[in-house]
């Protein structure tokens, strides 16, 4: 079923509320102050059934200049507008400002309603009609029906209702397949039920019992119940005004301007990149870093406009800007917004959000502006690739990409697979939670990695390679998970970019090469260990017997790196052959006898108690054995 939301717009006291009362039989001024003063302060909501059977929601917005922020909160979700102009006054300041706001928010359909015709004569009315036609020439209200009505006598109301019904037929169907979003315009508490929020669903659908999240606070909640026009329902979808009863949320936790959406979908931000249109009616150019008021959905936030591609924006001009906000905004790509001057307050412009979670941008950065133009173009594959490129340093999963791109996931997997197939994006850790990296990002990391390794090899020619852990922190950052890092190392090894050896990484073609002097030192060290067996020579004694102590240290460390020597204690190494023999002795002995004591290991290896102890403590540490009393058993 198609759901249509109709909004009113127009100057104060031009009869918007009276018109809705005449159409629906319901009162939208709910505050005592509103009824006493005869003006709308807050938003009014009601509905009426059209002749075709469709039910249309109606938002009555206040016309007074002081309450225009409430008007902005209401008009952002409407499908068509009733532009209300009183016959006795004609076009007035708020008529023009409301219309500018409608254009900025891309409202495309409407009907002009001239009210209070019972107060003027025919000649005056004809003059007002002509003035209205001239005012809206060249806009979306040019050539729309102009209805002359009296809410008091009911004259003209029937034909107005018929035209509203016809116009609702051409209103596009709302996006009910996307992620649920409800900008909150009111929140209150009902005894026995708890917190209730109201608003117009702008995308997706929500069902009773589903989990939701409130942004920007990221408080999680559950939908207890849903009402539409006072009727309890099981679900609400895009285009419907509804009230949602939320569990485990205090009224103080949620305010107008917050957004209720699905869990972990949206990313609040203090910066958004936009295309801004500056109104022709503005009295002076918009300066860089000028303080303004941003209106988006139902929120009002003070911010500064950083102009990215020019010095200032002239009236009637457009520019790419970054809005730097004083509190977080929860938005999505292609959302519309309006800005008003900080003080005195009047509408000066608006536009479209290109990047809802922007990084801080430098002015006149051609690459950044090029990126914004790409995002503005709306080409999914290019936007997706660019998003992955920007997110790669955070090692994003599909959920992170969806959050950044602000797009429903109906085609995202297909687009991701295309990018992977083309080679521009790499997918890792496919078995569990896939991570997507841009090829360019990885290529840059490889350049840094190879440069570091080249420098390392030149300074340490006898080391097998650089520690994997050190490379991880220096090249890929501490936030990368170990499993993902292992996947990257494996990929780079498969591609022939590096060589992994145990806990070390080296350049693909690197080999340890000993000089003739170093080769002699190596042979002497290995010979000493070979003679001694399980009572190894001491490092200090061997070093003292070598004249070239610098080379001795390098050669000795290289033998540990290469695995020729195995270090099992602070100053204790054994030949790899003897180390493996000791492991076999322990395993075989325990399997045949059930356990092994220090004395038994000492005797089996023909060593001292000191080295038997070192072996046993080492085998405990690698979980080969475990201590039970004074003996060891297999772990």
Which three-class secondary structure string do you get for 239-282? CCEEEEEEECCCHHHCCCCCEEECCCCCCCEEEEEEEEEECCCC
Decide: residue 41, CB within 10 A, 0-12 exposed, 13-18 middle, 19+ buried: middle
Query: Coil, strand or helix: which one is 361?
Result: coil
**Could you tell me the maximum CA-CA distance found in the chain, to the nearest angstrom?**
123
Name the nearest CA neighbour of 482 among 428, 436, 563, 404: 428
Can the peptide bond before residue 216 be classed as cis, meaning omega within 30 degrees of 0?
yes
Report the SS3 class of residue 537. coil
Q: What pairs with residue 82 in β-bridges?
A: 8, 111
309-337 pLDDT, tens digit each: 999 999 999 999 999 999 999 998 888 89
Strand partners, 352: 275, 336
Q: Which two tokens stand for residue 17?
A: 């509320």
- 552: closest CA among 533, 516, 525? 525
The DSSP call for residue 66 is: G
Instruction: Give one DSSP letter per residue of 137-149, joined into a string.
Output: TTSTTTT--EEE-
**275/313 Cα distance (integer angstroms):** 12
Instruction: Measure the CA–CA gap between 348 and 294, rounded to whole angstroms.
Output: 11
- The continuous run of DSSP H or E covering 550 comes out as helix 549-562
Asked if 301 contacts 293 with a C-beta cutoff of 8 angstroms, the reply is: yes
Q: Partners of 4 in the beta sheet?
A: 56
Q: Residue 254 and residue 465: Cα distance in Å, rounded?
A: 55
pLDDT for 430 equals 59
pLDDT given for residue 619 in this prediction: 96
Helical spans, DSSP H, in 109-228: 122-135, 157-170
Q: How far apart are CA 199 and CA 451, in angstroms?
A: 56
In whole angstroms, what is the distance from residue 582 CA to residue 587 CA? 9
pLDDT tens string 141-182:
999 999 999 999 999 999 999 999 999 888 877 767 778 999
CA dihedral defined by 273, 279, 283, 287, rounded to 10 degrees? Answer: 10
Parts of the chain with a pLDDT under 50: 28-43, 62-68, 71, 73-74
> For residue 339, which of 69, 13, 50, 157 has the smallest C-alpha distance?
69
Q: Quick one: pLDDT at residue 610? A: 94
At 63 the pLDDT is 42
DSSP secondary structure code for residue 408 in this structure: -
Dihedral sign for Cα atoms in the order 434, 435, 439, 443: negative
- What DSSP designation does 622 have? T
Pick the closest to residue 419 from 406, 405, 432 (CA basis): 405
The structure tokens listed for 434 are 């896939």
Name the DSSP class of 173. Answer: P
Q: Are 352 and 274 in contact (CB under 8 A)?
A: yes
Tell me the three state secondary structure of residue 106.
coil
Helix, strand, coil in percent for the chain, rounding step 5 = 35, 30, 35
Q: Omega before 344 cis (within 30°)? A: yes
d(CA 523, CA 529): 10
pLDDT value at residue 65: 46
Measured CA to CA, the distance from residue 97 to residue 104 in angstroms comes to 11
Task: Say if CB 79 and CB 169 are below 8 A apart.
Answer: no
pLDDT for position 559 = 92
Q: Which domains does the chain have, with CATH numbers?
A: 4-170 (3.40.50.300), 181-261 (2.40.30.10), 269-370 (2.40.30.10), 516-634 (1.10.10.10)
pTM of the model: 0.67
Q: What is the structure's pLDDT at 207?
A: 94
pLDDT, position 405: 74
CA distances from 274 to 396, 436, 596 (A): 24, 26, 73
Asked if residue 336 lies in contact with residue 104, where contact means CB atoms within 8 angstroms, the answer is: yes
Q: Sign of the C-alpha dihedral, residues 481, 487, 489, 492?
A: negative
Q: Rounded CA gap, 100 and 331, in Å?
A: 22
């Amino acid at each position: 079923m198609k759901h249509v939301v109709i909004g009113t717009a127009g100057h104060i006291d031009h009869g918007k509320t009276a018109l809705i009362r005449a159409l629906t039989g319901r009162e939208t001024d709910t505050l005592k102050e509103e009824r006493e003063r005869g003006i709308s302060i807050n938003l009014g909501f009601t509905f009426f059934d059209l002749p075709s059977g469709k039910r249309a929601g109606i938002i009555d917005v206040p016309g007074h200049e002081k309450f225009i922020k409430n008007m902005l909160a209401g008009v952002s979700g409407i499908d068509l507008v009733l532009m209300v102009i009183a016959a006795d006054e004609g076009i007035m300041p708020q008529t023009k400002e409301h219309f500018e706001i409608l254009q900025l928010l891309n409202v495309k359909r409407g009907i002009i309603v001239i009210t209070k015709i019972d107060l003027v004569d025919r000649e005056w009315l004809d003059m007002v009609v002509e003035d209205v036609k001239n005012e809206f020439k060249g806009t979306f209200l040019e050539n729309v029906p102009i209805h002359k009505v009296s809410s008091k006598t009911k004259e003209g109301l029937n034909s107005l209702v018929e035209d509203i019904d016809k116009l609702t037929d051409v209103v596009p169907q709302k996006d009910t397949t996307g992620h649920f979003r409800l900008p909150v315009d009111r929140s209150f508490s009902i005894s026995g039920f708890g917190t209730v929020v109201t608003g117009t669903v702008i995308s997706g659908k929500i069902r009773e019992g589903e989990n939701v999240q409130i942004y920007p606070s990221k408080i999680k909640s559950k939908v207890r119940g849903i009402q539409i026009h006072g009727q309890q329902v099981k679900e609400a979808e895009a285009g419907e005004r509804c009230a949602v009863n939320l569990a485990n949320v205090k009224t103080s936790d949620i305010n107008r301007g917050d957004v209720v959406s699905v869990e972990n979908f949206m990313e609040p931000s203090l910066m958004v990149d936009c295309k801004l249109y500056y109104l022709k009616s503005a009295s002076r150019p918009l300066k860089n870093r000028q303080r303004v008021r941003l209106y988006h959905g139902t929120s009002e936030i003070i911010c500064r406009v950083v102009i990215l591609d020019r010095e200032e924006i002239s009236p009637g001009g457009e520019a790419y800007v970054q809005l730097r906000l004083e509190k977080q905004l929860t938005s999505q790509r292609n959302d519309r917004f309006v800005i008003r001057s900080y003080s005195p307050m009047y509408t000066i412009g608006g536009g479209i959000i290109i990047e809802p979670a922007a990084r801080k941008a430098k002015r006149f950065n051609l690459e950044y502006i090029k990126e914004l133009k790409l995002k503005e173009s709306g080409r999914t594959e290019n936007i997706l690739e660019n998003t992955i490129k920007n997110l790669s340093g955070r090692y994003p999963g599909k959920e992170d990409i969806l959050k950044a791109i602000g797009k429903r996931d109906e085609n995202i997997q297909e687009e991701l697979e295309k990018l992977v197939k083309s080679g521009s994006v790499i997918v890792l850790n496919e078995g569990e939670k896939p991570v997507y990296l841009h090829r360019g990002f990885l290529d840059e990391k490889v350049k840094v990695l190879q440069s570091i390794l080249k420098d390392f090899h030149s300074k340490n020619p006898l080391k097998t390679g650089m520690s994997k852990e050190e490379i991880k922190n220096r090249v890929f950052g501490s936030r990368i998970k170990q499993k993902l890092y292992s996947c990257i190392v494996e990929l780079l090894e498969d591609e022939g970019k590096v060589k992994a050896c145990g806990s070390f990484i080296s350049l693909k073609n690197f080999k340890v090469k000993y000089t003739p002097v170093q080769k002699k030192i190596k042979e002497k060290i290995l010979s000493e260990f070979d003679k001694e067996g399980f009572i190894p020579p001491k490092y200090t004694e061997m070093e003292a017997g070598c004249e070239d102590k610098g080379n001795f240290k390098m050669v000795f460390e290289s033998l540990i790196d290469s695995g020729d020597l195995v270090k099992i204690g602070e100053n204790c190494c054994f030949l790899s052959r003897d180390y493996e023999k000791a492991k076999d002795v322990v395993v075989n002995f325990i399997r045949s006898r059930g356990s092994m004591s220090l004395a038994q290991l000492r005797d089996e290896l023909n060593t001292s108690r000191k080295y038997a102890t070192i072996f046993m403590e080492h085998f405990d540490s690698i979980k080969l054995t475990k201590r039970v009393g004074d003996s060891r058993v297999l772990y």
